[in-house]
Amino acid sequence: MVFKEKQEQPDYLVGSVDFLGSKIDLSQKPFIPRSETEFWVEKSLDKLQDIKKDKIYCLDLFSGSGCIGISVLKKIKNSCCDFGEVDKNFLKQIEINLAGNKISGERRKIIKTNIFSGVKKKYDCIFANPPYVAENRIDEVEESVKMYEPNKALFAGEDGMFFIRKFLKEFENYLNDEGMVFMEFDPDQKKEIEDLLKAKKGIKFEFWEDQFKKFRTVFIKKQAQN
């Protein structure tokens, strides 16, 4: 197959990107952090401020570059964060970015995991930015994105819900009581996500719009068990 020559993503050429004040290295070519993600992560930090614990334990799942967990560690001083990722190159990328942002070793851990396969404990907060682009909408994706960014960080089955369904099936098992989840998704997936969550007991949830007034994030809270 022959592709027309396309310009590589500018952020890869620069080598890094700013994410909520942190410099995120892109040398291993992870998925480039988007402004929509930055928008909801900043909003989520307000929720973390409400947690009244000496230590707040977080999981950054589908971590990629590590930008979400690094932002949490830098902004929430009593937080600890595990970074969950399956790709060995991105595991290296997370290590590079933790070192570059001077995150101390006792506050963070990197876990090789396929969704929850390598996760062994519960958290106060889980951040999830899974692949969610539907393969049946591949023609809507910019050619430069398809050519230069990791497709496995983008596409998730015919309707884009492959990883989201698996994540929503299990997440409660890895949350402390009153624990929280923040998950990014495609606006077209809102209805199915809502139906999946309505079928569960012991949780509350709400959807957040991004800066472009599109539903982009779901906030879930696990209720305390009696």
- All structural domains of the chain, each given as residue ranges with its CATH number in brackets, are 10-222 (3.40.50.150)
Task: Say if residue 169's pLDDT is above 50.
Answer: yes
Secondary structure string (H, E, C) spanning the chain: CCCCCCCCCHHHHHCEEEECCEEEECCCCCCCCCHHHHHHHHHHHHHHHCCCCCCEEEEEECCCCCHHHHHHHHHCCCEEEEEEECCHHHHHHHHHHHHHCCCCHHHEEEEECCCCCCCCCCEEEEEECCCCECHHHHHHCCHHHHHHCCHHHCECCCCCCHHHHHHHHHHHHHEEEEEEEEEECCHHHHHHHHHHHHCCCCEEEEEEECCCCCEEEEEEEECCCC
Residue that is written with structure tokens 């949350």 in the block: 175
What is the reported pLDDT for 113?
97
Angle between helices 67-75 and 88-100 in degrees, nearest 10: 30
What is the reported pLDDT for 3?
31
Q: How confident is the model at residue 139 (pLDDT cuts 50, 70, 90)?
A: low
Under 8 Å between Cβ of 31 and 168 = no
Under 8 Å between Cβ of 183 and 220 = yes
Condensed to tens digits (0 to 9), the pLDDT of residues 70-125 reads 999 999 999 999 999 999 999 999 999 999 999 988 999 999 999 999 999 999 99
Q: What is the mean pLDDT of the chain?
A: 89
At residue 190, φ and ψ (nearest 5 deg) are: -55, -45
Residue 198, number of CB atoms within 10 A of its CB: 9
Q: How confident is the model at residue 141 (pLDDT cuts 50, 70, 90)?
A: low
What is the reported pLDDT for 1?
27
Angle between helices 67-75 and 35-49 in degrees, nearest 10: 40
**pTM (predicted TM-score):** 0.90
The better pLDDT of the pair 206, 51 is held by 206
Residue 113, number of CB atoms within 10 A of its CB: 19
Length of the chain: 226
Condensed to tens digits (0 to 9), the pLDDT of residues 31-56 reads 889 999 999 999 999 999 988 899 99
